């Protein structure tokens, strides 16, 4: 009895082999692993190139030929021949018939694996994405006496293997025959095969042809000799237009020998958003890996598109993207350094080209300069900023002004720029992307520079005070004006400033706006929230309306005796100051503008004269 139980247990623990549904696996590949059926041709080229590489590792003088022939007239069948290492019958059973097994693991080839393109062993399986039947005829160069072998597989998972007479394949190498599945014949048409072969294989190191049409085009455009730098620039510009569809502002050589990188970066001719993900073309040992590599460059280098060849970076399982690892991080840093060196070179030797570049892509350089003090120091004389003195670099602006004042928002700049400029106070608009950060970093690269944020108090302090006797005489006017604007959270101040044409100036800062928003929320909240918001009341200064005593209109208004008319005029001045500062209007502000406008019209047309009132 115990013996029977033991035998039963052994039977239940015996190993089983996974059953693979090839149709399901092909569906998985086509819909989830690969982005397009076109990868079938890359796999065919890859297998052929790897086979040649393996043969040349043992026979350096062996031929290196890959030939693709479209058969069946309009397509539907494809034949691919290579002069590679070939396979024996044993190799076919152990390699082609085992899903996930790579020929690169064959005995004697592991040491040369770094020279191969493929590393995942999917190989011919990808061809079932477009083919319903695959036939492989191969003869081994390693075992010349072995007969040719034929492997034929269908997309239902069945396959046959048989040996052939020697004359069936006189020379070592492999021929792959594909028969298209229904609806996929177009993928095997001559025009499509030639286009895909050139796209994937233009930089392959061997002689690849579709029929009589050459596929490879070596050396790569960035490695060719040109009569002059100008002719090289024209040729690379043409290459960029063919690949990416634009003529570049400039080209940057990307040569990193330690990482096995050779290529070129093309500078975009128009500005792009930093959030836009750049798509770069990456070749792996000559074979196009992807044309949508996104993590190849630092985030700040969004103004270039790259095409390069590498032998060190790892592809993902689909071989359509780069694997994020330490090698890729190192390459990203090295390529960023090349672009940084190009910018430094322009600054030192070609200011006209640098100016043309910055006119389009200053945002990218500013993004870099935020974290790179050396780049900020280099670009300081060139990066443009909006200032009260016009478009200037920070270097030139700092030379003109002992204190570099700046605002953190465009809104604040628009409030103070006209007045500050008239008072001789220089201001930099730090409201644009990265600008305030760069202004604050200025002392670190330009010792002795004083940088200060410009707020309402600073502006008011630079305005001339009015004689105390004059201000005392206008106390009734100022009291009426303040009473009118107090519900809006705004004080009224009398100053004398230029230009004379500005009757009033609205000044506030972020703290004042925050307090104003809190107060508005408190008014609209229920008792509970009103109590909570009330406890958050701050002591920040309120917004202020600065009246210009030098302005003739203000002098006339300040001489009025009618308190109601003073209030209406003050509301009009307040609304006009908001509009001049290009401030967004709250509903209360819009209502005030309408009310003051109607009030002034009524005052202007009001009359007690019976003759002007018209007939009864």
Mean pLDDT for the stretch of residues 479-494: 87
- Residue 97 has a pLDDT of 55
Q: Which residue has the higher pLDDT, 126 or 266?
A: 266
Alpha-carbon gap, residue 448 to 463, rounded angstroms: 27
Mean of the pLDDT values across residues 582-591? Answer: 76
> What pLDDT does 115 receive?
44
Distance CA 36, CA 39 (A): 6
For residue 237, count CB atoms less than 10 angstroms from its CB and return exposed for 0-12, middle for 13-18, buried for 19 or more.
Answer: middle
pLDDT of residue 524: 54
Mean pLDDT of 347-352: 88
Confidence of residue 33 (pLDDT cuts 50, 70, 90): low
The predicted structure's pLDDT at residue 416: 79
pLDDT per residue over 267-283, tens digit each?
999 988 777 777 899 99
Q: Which of 346, 348, 349, 372 is nearest to 358 (CA)?
A: 346
Would you state the pLDDT for residue 116?
Answer: 40
* Predicted model pTM: 0.71
Q: Report the C-alpha gap between 447 and 433 in whole angstroms.
A: 24
| Confidence band of 527 (pLDDT split at 50, 70, 90) | low
Does residue 206 contact residue 49 with C-beta atoms inside 8 Å?
Answer: yes
Contacts with 172 (C-beta within 8 Å, 6 or more apart), sequence order: 55, 83, 84, 85, 86, 139, 140, 141, 144
pLDDT in tens, 172-218: 999 999 999 888 889 999 999 999 999 999 999 999 999 999 999 88
Between the CA atoms of 154, 159, 163 and 166, what dihedral angle is there, to the nearest 10 degrees?
Answer: 20
pLDDT for 603: 83
CA atoms of 197 and 190, how far apart (whole Å): 10
The enclosing H or E element of 307 equals: strand 304-310
Residue 261 has pLDDT above 70, yes or no: yes
314 vs 287: CA distance, rounded Å: 13
Q: How far apart are CA 616 and CA 603, in angstroms?
A: 22
Instruction: Look at residue 585 and tell me whether its pLDDT is greater than 80.
Output: no
Q: Considering the chain, what is the average pLDDT of its residues?
A: 81
> For residues 494 and 548, what is the distance between their CA atoms, to the nearest angstrom?
6
User: Residue 309: beta bridge partners?
Assistant: 262, 283
User: pLDDT tens digits, residue range 122-151?
Assistant: 567 778 888 888 899 999 999 888 899 998
Assess contact for 146 and 89: CB atoms under 8 A.
yes
Chain centre to alpha carbon of residue 222: 24
What is the per-residue DSSP string for 544-583?
Answer: EEEEETTSHHHHHHHT---HHHHHHHHHHHHHHHHHHTTP
pLDDT, residue 615, reads: 47
Rounded Cα–Cα distance for residues 284 and 309 (Å): 6
Question: What is the distance between the alpha carbons of residues 45 and 204, in angstroms, rounded to a whole number?
Answer: 9
C-alpha separations of 611 from 602, 604, 608 in Å? 18, 17, 9
- Lowest mean per-residue pLDDT among 252-261, 408-417, 428-437: 408-417
- Which of 62-76, 185-199, 374-388 comes out lowest in average pLDDT? 62-76
Cis amide bond preceding 32, omega within 30:
no
- pLDDT of 120 reads 33
Q: Rounded distance, CA 603 to CA 562, Å? A: 11
Q: Residue 514 is encoded by which pair of tokens?
A: 């925050």
Mean pLDDT, rounded, for 47-65: 92
Determine the pLDDT at residue 612. 47
Percent of the chain with pLDDT over 90: 31
């Amino acid at each position: 009895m115990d013996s029977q139980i033991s035998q039963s247990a052994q039977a239940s623990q015996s190993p089983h082999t996974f059953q693979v549904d090839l149709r399901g696996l092909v569906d998985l590949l086509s819909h989830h692993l690969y982005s397009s059926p076109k990868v079938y041709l890359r796999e065919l080229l890859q297998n052929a190139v790897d086979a040649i590489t393996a043969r040349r590792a043992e026979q350096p003088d062996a031929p290196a030929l890959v030939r693709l022939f479209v058969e069946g007239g309009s397509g539907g069948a494809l034949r691919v021949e290579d002069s590679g290492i070939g396979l024996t019958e044993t190799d076919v059973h152990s390699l082609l018939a085992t899903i996930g097994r790579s020929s690169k693991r064959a005995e004697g080839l592991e040491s040369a694996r770094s020279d191969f393109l493929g590393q995942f062993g999917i190989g011919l399986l990808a061809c079932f994405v477009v083919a319903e039947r695959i036939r492989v005829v191969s003869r081994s160069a390693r075992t010349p006496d072995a007969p040719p072998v034929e492997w034929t597989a269908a997309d239902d998972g069945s396959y046959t293997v048989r040996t052939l007479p020697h004359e069936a394949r006189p020379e070592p190498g492999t021929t792959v025959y594909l028969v298209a599945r229904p609806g996929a014949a177009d993928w095997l048409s001559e025009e499509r095969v030639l286009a895909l072969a050139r796209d994937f294989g233009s930089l392959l190191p061997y002689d690849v042809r579709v029929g009589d049409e050459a596929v490879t085009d070596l050396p790569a455009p960035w490695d060719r000799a040109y009569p002059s730098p100008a002719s090289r620039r024209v040729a690379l510009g043409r290459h960029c237009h063919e690949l990416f569809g634009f003529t570049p502002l400039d080209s940057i050589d990307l040569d990193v020998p330690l990482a096995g990188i050779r290529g070129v970066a093309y500078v975009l001719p128009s500005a792009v958003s930093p959030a836009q993900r750049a798509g770069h073309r990456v070749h792996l040992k000559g074979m196009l890996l992807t044309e949508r590599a996104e993590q190849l460059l630092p985030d700040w280098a969004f103004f270039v598109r790259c095409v390069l060849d590498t032998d060190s970076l790892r592809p993902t399982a689909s071989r359509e993207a780069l694997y994020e690892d330490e090698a890729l991080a190192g390459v990203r840093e090295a390529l960023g350094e090349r672009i940084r060196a190009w910018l430094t070179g322009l600054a030192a030797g070609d200011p006209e080209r640098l100016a043309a570049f910055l006119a389009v892509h200053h945002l990218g350089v500013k993004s870099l300069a935020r974290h790179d003090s050396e780049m900020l120091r280099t670009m300081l004389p060139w990066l443009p900023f909006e200032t009260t003195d016009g478009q200037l670099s920070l270097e030139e602006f700092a030379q003109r002004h002992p204190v570099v004042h700046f605002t953190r928002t465009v809104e604040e700049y628009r409030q103070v720029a006209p007045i500050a400029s008239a008072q001789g106070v220089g201001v930099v608009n730090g409201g644009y992307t990265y600008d305030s950060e760069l202004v604050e970093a200025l002392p670190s690269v330009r010792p002795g520079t004083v940088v200060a944020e410009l707020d309402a108090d600073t502006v008011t302090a630079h305005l001339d005070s009015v004689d105390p006797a004059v201000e005392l005489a206008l106390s009734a006017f100022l009291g009426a004006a303040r009473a009118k604007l107090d519900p809006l959270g705004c004080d009224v101040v009398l100053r004398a400033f230029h230009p004379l044409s500005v009757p009033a100036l609205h000044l506030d800062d972020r703290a004042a706006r925050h307090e104003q928003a809190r107060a508005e929320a408190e008014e609209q909240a229920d008792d509970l929230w009103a109590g909570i918001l009330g406890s958050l009341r701050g002591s920040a200064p309120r917004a202020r309306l600065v009246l210009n005593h030098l302005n003739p209109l203000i002098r006339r208004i300040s001489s009025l005796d009618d308190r109601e008319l003073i209030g209406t005029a003050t509301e009009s001045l307040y609304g006009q100051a908001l509009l001049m500062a290009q401030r967004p209007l709250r509903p209360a502000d819009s209502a005030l503008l309408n009310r003051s406008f109607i009030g002034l019209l009524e005052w202007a047309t009001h009359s007690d004269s019976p003759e002007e009132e018209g007939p009864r």
